[in-house]
């Protein structure tokens, strides 16, 4: 089966993590390609967060974010992606003092020009505390129905457990936005349980759910999909090795899941590559990959175009 032509959607994808070194050099005076590539290298989750922060600081103007999106949509189209939900790190914007309401319009306008339909998810930094998370949630609500379909939290799960933000998630859900927190990436199954208690429609990563049979059953009962990012989990050390990744066990347990790149430029991967890993390393058949691709449309927050 030609994985490139397989109709599919991507649901866990960070805009800033898709910024290629060449793009960053083009917008950053004095930045050379080798230096950019060196700054984007990392060996564990903590170093990854520093690399992500460095990339974000290279994006200084609204048109910089729009340029990253333009290139990203071109790459998605080349891979047979028919629809995408893209995380915008609104929390990092606010932390940097960048007004979301002045920066997001350029992103939304670029999305309208692209050939791949897009919705956005505003992402808060969970370890920055309630005031920060509430501010990002308020920004997401202001843009609800104008390109933004969801609200999530990412960052350090141990320092910002989801249970702290149940009321925030209640508020965004009441405004018509979906709850799509990260969970179970760097901490145990309790983080996934807390994401469920926040009313999660999907959960970013969620791989540690494999350690709790009752949690696997609850994910199936609630029909909550896990956003699986194989290469990401290997590169950040969330799993000890590629072959130890639980994607096969989660799929065989009947848990709904979708495949994603997370931060494709930083992790040096593509969505086609993630499907190839599922096939070549974990033995997914063509029929199983087609099911995963169907899931990517089924668990979308907005109605994707017909395929």
Q: Is residue 1 part of a domain?
A: no
Residues 240-269 have a mean pLDDT of 98
Q: What is the pLDDT of residues 163-172, one digit of tens each?
A: 999 999 999 9
pLDDT at 305 over 80: no
Look up the CATH number of the domain holding residue 148.
3.20.20.140
Rounded Cα distance, 14 and 164, in Å? 23
Residues 54-64 have a mean pLDDT of 98
Provide the 10 A C-beta neighbour count for residue 32: 11
Residues 101-124 have a mean pLDDT of 98
Q: What is the pLDDT of residues 121-153, one digit of tens each?
A: 999 999 999 999 999 999 999 999 999 999 999
HSE at residue 91, side-chain half, CA atoms within 13 A, is 24
Q: What is the pLDDT of residues 174-210, one digit of tens each?
A: 999 999 999 999 999 999 999 999 999 999 999 999 9
Q: Is residue 256 part of a domain?
A: yes
3-state SS, 270-285, equals: CHHHHHHHHHHCCCCC
Q: Do 49 and 260 meet the contact criterion of CB atoms below 8 Å apart?
A: no
pLDDT of residue 303: 75
Q: Do 183 and 157 meet the contact criterion of CB atoms below 8 Å apart?
A: yes
User: In 3D, which of 271, 278, 282 has the Cα closest to residue 8?
Assistant: 271
Return mean pLDDT, the chain: 97
pLDDT of residue 107: 99
Among candidate residues 85, 157, 185, 190, the one labeled active-site is: 185
Q: What is the pLDDT of residues 200-248, one digit of tens each?
A: 999 999 999 999 999 999 999 999 999 999 999 999 999 999 999 999 9
In angstroms, what CA-CA distances link 135 with 104, 114, 122, 160?
15, 29, 11, 16
Q: Is residue 304 part of a domain?
A: no
Q: Is residue 123 part of a domain?
A: yes
pLDDT at 306 over 70: no
Please give the radius of gyration of the chain, using alpha carbons only, rounded to the nearest integer.
18
Q: How many domains does the chain have?
A: 1
Q: Is residue 24 part of a domain?
A: yes
Q: Is residue 289 part of a domain?
A: yes
Q: Is residue 305 part of a domain?
A: no
Residue 185 among the catalytic residues: yes
Q: Which of 12-16, 45-49, 124-128 has the lowest mean pLDDT?
A: 45-49
Its domain, for residue 32, covers: 8-298
pLDDT at 71 over 90: yes
Which run of H or of E encompasses 123?
Answer: strand 118-125
Provide DSSP, 16-55. GGG--HHHHHHHSTT--HHHHHHHT--SSHHHHHHHHHHH
Q: Is residue 307 part of a domain?
A: no
Task: Give the percent of the chain with pLDDT over 90.
Answer: 98
Residues 24-41 have a mean pLDDT of 97
């Amino acid at each position: 089966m030609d994985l490139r032509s397989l109709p599919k959607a991507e649901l866990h994808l960070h805009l800033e993590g898709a910024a290629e070194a060449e793009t960053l050099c083009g917008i950053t005076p004095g930045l050379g390609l080798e230096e950019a590539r060196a700054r984007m290298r990392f060996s564990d989750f903590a170093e990854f967060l520093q690399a992500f922060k460095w990339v974000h600081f290279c994006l200084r103007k609204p048109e910089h974010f729009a340029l990253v999106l333009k290139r990203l949509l071109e790459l998605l189209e080349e891979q047979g992606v028919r629809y995408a939900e893209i995380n915008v790190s609104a929390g990092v914007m606010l932390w940097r003092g960048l007004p979301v309401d002045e920066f997001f319009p350029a992103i939304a306008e670029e999305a309208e020009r692209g050939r791949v339909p897009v919705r956005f998810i505003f992402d808060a930094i969970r370890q920055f505390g309630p005031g920060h998370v509430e501010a990002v949630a308020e920004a997401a609500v202001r843009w609800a129905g104008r390109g933004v379909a969801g609200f999530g939290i990412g960052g350090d799960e141990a320092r910002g457990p989801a249970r702290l933000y149940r009321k925030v998630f209640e508020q965004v859900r009441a405004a018509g936005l979906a709850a799509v927190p990260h969970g179970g990436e760097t901490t145990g199954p309790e983080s996934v349980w807390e994401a469920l208690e926040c009313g999660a429609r999907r959960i970013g990563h969620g791989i540690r759910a494999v350690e709790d049979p009752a949690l696997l059953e609850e994910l199936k009962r609630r029909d909550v999909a896990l956003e699986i990012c194989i290469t990401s989990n290997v590169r950040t050390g969330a799993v000890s090795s590629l072959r130890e990744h639980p994607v096969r066990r989660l799929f065989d347990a009947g848990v709904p899941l979708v495949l994603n790149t997370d931060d494709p430029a930083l992790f040096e991967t593509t969505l086609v590559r993630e499907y190839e890993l599922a096939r070549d390393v974990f033995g997914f058949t063509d029929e199983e990959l087609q099911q995963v691709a169907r899931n990517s449309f089924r668990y979308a927050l907005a109605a994707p175009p017909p395929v």
